[in-house]
Amino acid sequence: MKVILTENLYKVGEAGGIVEVKDGFARNYLLPQGKAVKADKGNMMRIEAIKKRAEEARLRLLSELKESASVLEGKTLEFEMNSDKDGKLYGSVSDVEIIAKIKDVFGLEIKRRMVELPERIKNVGEFQVILHFGPEVAVNINVLVKNSELEALKPVEETKEQTEASTEEEA
């Protein structure tokens, strides 16, 4: 069935475009949701109006996405996790943890498909993560993973060294 899209649809087409889709997809999803109209004579004359409305909606959405993205640009998310002495985490930091941290710290709702994380983070260190807010809007954030056990042990080790140094000086 040929339809005219009323909005941009991922992997289907752009607003105002005439596309051939399966009848069931058009009948059950596109037409009832208002995402497309049948490509008949009357609607063919309205293509320009559809394109104009879609472009205005796209620009409005793009501005909202850029505003949300600017909040996160260059920010660092810190995670304290347990790891062994070599820095290998007992767990991992995945896109789910990153999404939860962004919601807690910045109050932004991020979807899993927006997070570009090649694989789960399984070591202590600093990592770059890309968030895709749309085809034209992406930001880089830093993810810093610290070892919570080693951070807690450092002061104890330092005090032992200081105690040993002071006993050597006294002797």
Cα–Cα distance list, 15 to 22, 36, 51, 162 (Å): 18, 9, 6, 70
Tell me which of 1-10, 29-38, 148-157 is least confident.
148-157
Q: What are the φ and ψ backbone dihedral angles of 109, each rounded to 5 degrees?
A: -90, 120
C-alpha pair distances (Å), 133 with each of 56, 69, 110: 18, 7, 9
Q: Are 41 and 106 in contact (CB under 8 A)?
A: no
- Whether the pTM exceeds 0.75: the reply is no
Is 60 exceeded by the pLDDT of residue 170?
Answer: no
Interacting residues of 123 by C-beta distance below 8 A, sequence separation 6+: 83, 87, 88, 89, 145
